[in-house]
Chains A and B, each alone.
Chain A
């Protein structure tokens, strides 16, 4: 190392940036690491593969096999698959966002600086949201491209609503994945638990609660996300009682989440998990 050339006397920084500015710095460099790392491009490729398969299937069997109008087309294309893209974004960008700072010891590089932990948490969350929105935008663009090709430029307004609900679901999913990421110190554990919950457990619990226990699963995030697909159905589905079972005379309730209810569930999930996740990170020790 060369002779130190630091000037005599310390520089007293007149003003540290405000916490919001520091959030911006965290977001900027977290996004840079996303774009430099493979995971962003892997997820982008997964999104493109799903889009390509759907494009190929529609082209091969003909659009009339799947939908008779534009709304039906978007329901088939977007409504059935976007939740998977959202969940994968949550797992890829949120699964180890916080736990990785402990396991990989990168947190030690950051936390010793004059920077609130909340700025780190929020900055990373915004970066994860931004990266996920890029993936979602690419996926939406391909869906719209196909829709315009088959049904013209008149895009049903319900697709816009569904897009907004998808973003809301993404926000809730990222809130939830960041919470789990704060809970664990192991990256693989937080990713695994998040993936199991979103890909299997929530759907299974929702099925058991609604079909067997006959209780509306208002406390399950994936039930709230039902508004993404429901809004693309005309008329909007409602909760109804149907006859079924072995005898064919047993009453069964098929639950359909309403838009206000779905929004409340997603917002509730985001607010609660974001607050708890942030508190966990604030209290967690770098031992």
Chain B
């Protein structure tokens, strides 16, 4: 079986004079998770809608496994699960009925249906609500059912548009775990998100888009090293339980291994610019503890992906 693929060929979408997507050329192939990043109105949802035939392209083609979505939607989407813009489910149906509808549309054998529905509903922790009407559900509960609908047919390609929308922090973490587990199972996941920590946690590759134009598509590490703008340096905020003087900062902390610079923000906090891998970070932490400066917190002030994102998006403003 060939590996799953999605491909945008000169894909454009215009609304009058406004160009929502401009000449997008992007081919994603294989089992991996690709994060799709960009500010509001950048064209992320537009792209995903074009891949599910919710809107029509002004120019170009959206191909799934080499099949044009617009010309042969049924065949193109046969192995695709999608979640676009937090759909609403018919309020008078129960999750079991709504998922049965999806299962029947997708031709899932009757013998497997019940088990499979219970399985995906359990994955999103909605077992207790399986036979309650959706009309009574909160936004987050509906989103969980939407996620289970996307997973129901075990699709080889998943198109997810901000899947964590409407979920509480626990729900967000659970969605991350589900997506992480799927990418190891021969699935191609193309996921738009505003949550950079989510993307850096889950995704292998990242595509960034702004003003309808693709800015970059590459492996996450490559994108960060090429565009973060600080040569891979990260900034670490350090919290202290007692005051620290400038001399300790300049003499003792600035000279630690990997520290590029250190400055006192307030009497009980520091900002350290650091260069190095996770092991070097671990060593820095133990060195700081050894200095007995009253260290109580130690965390990156912004992720490398965030720096990259801000550099790239700023550049297009």
What residues of chain A have their CB less than 8 Å away from a CB belonging to chain B? Answer: 1-13, 15-17, 19, 22, 25-26, 28-29, 32-33, 36-37, 104-116, 283, 285-287
Contacts and interface: CB of A to CB of B under 8 A. Distances in A.
Contacts of B90: 29, 33, 106, 109
B105 interface: yes
Q: Helix, strand, loop or mixed for chain A's interface?
A: loop
Q: 3 nearest interchain CB pairs?
A: A108-B87, A1-B174, A36-B92
Contacts of A26: 105
A108 B181 CA distance: 25
B185 A8 contact: yes
A109 to B, nearest CB: 4
A15 B107 contact: yes
A108 B155 CA distance: 18
A286 B49 contact: yes
Contacts of A283: 56
Contacts of A8: 184-186
A68 B98 CA distance: 54
Given A108-B87, A114-B77, A16 B156 contact: no
Given A15-B107, A113-B77, 15 more contacts: A2-B122, A6-B151, A10-B185, A22-B105, A32-B93, A105-B87, A106-B88, A109-B89, A110-B105, A112-B84, A114-B80, A114-B105, A114-B106, A115-B105, A285-B49
Contact of B154 (A1, A11, A37, A114): A11
A4 B186 contact: no
B181 A286 contact: no
B124 to A, nearest CB: 5
B237 to A, nearest CB: 31
Contacts of B49: 285-286
B225 interface: no
A112 B123 contact: no
B147 to A, nearest CB: 9
B186 A112 contact: no
Contact of A109 (B144, B149, B186): B149
Interface of B: 1, 15, 49, 52-56, 73-80, 82-90, 92-93, 97-98, 101-102, 104-108, 119, 122-125, 133, 144, 146, 149, 151, 153-156, 159, 171, 174-175, 177-178, 181-182, 184-187
B177 A4 contact: yes
A29 B101 contact: yes
A115 B55 CA distance: 15
B288 to A, nearest CB: 36
Q: Most chain-B Cβ atoms within 10 A of its Cβ — which of A12, A19, A37, A108?
A: A108
B88 A12 contact: no
A36 B178 CA distance: 33
A226 to B, nearest CB: 37
Contacts of B149: 109
A1 B123 contact: yes
Contact of B186 (A9, A113, A285): A9
Nearest to B89: A109
B74 A111 contact: no
Given A109-B87, A115-B105, A1 B125 contact: yes
A114 B74 contact: yes
Contacts of B77: 112-114
Contacts of B144: 1
A29 B84 contact: no
27 contacts: A1-B124, A1-B178, A6-B154, A6-B185, A10-B79, A10-B156, A13-B107, A15-B107, A16-B107, A25-B104, A25-B105, A32-B97, A36-B92, A36-B133, A104-B88, A105-B85, A107-B87, A108-B85, A109-B87, A109-B88, A109-B98, A112-B82, A112-B87, A114-B77, A114-B78, A114-B106, A287-B55
A105 B90 CA distance: 9
A13 B159 CA distance: 18
A25 B101 CA distance: 7
A106 B87 contact: yes
A108 B54 contact: yes
Nearest to B184: A8
A6, A109, A116 — most chain B CB neighbours (10 Å): A109
B92 A4 contact: no
Contacts of B156: 10, 12
A286 to B, nearest CB: 4
A106 B89 contact: yes
Contacts of A112: 52, 54, 77, 80, 82-84, 87, 159
Contacts of B92: 32-33, 36-37
Contacts of B54: 108, 111-112, 285-286
A171 B222 CA distance: 61
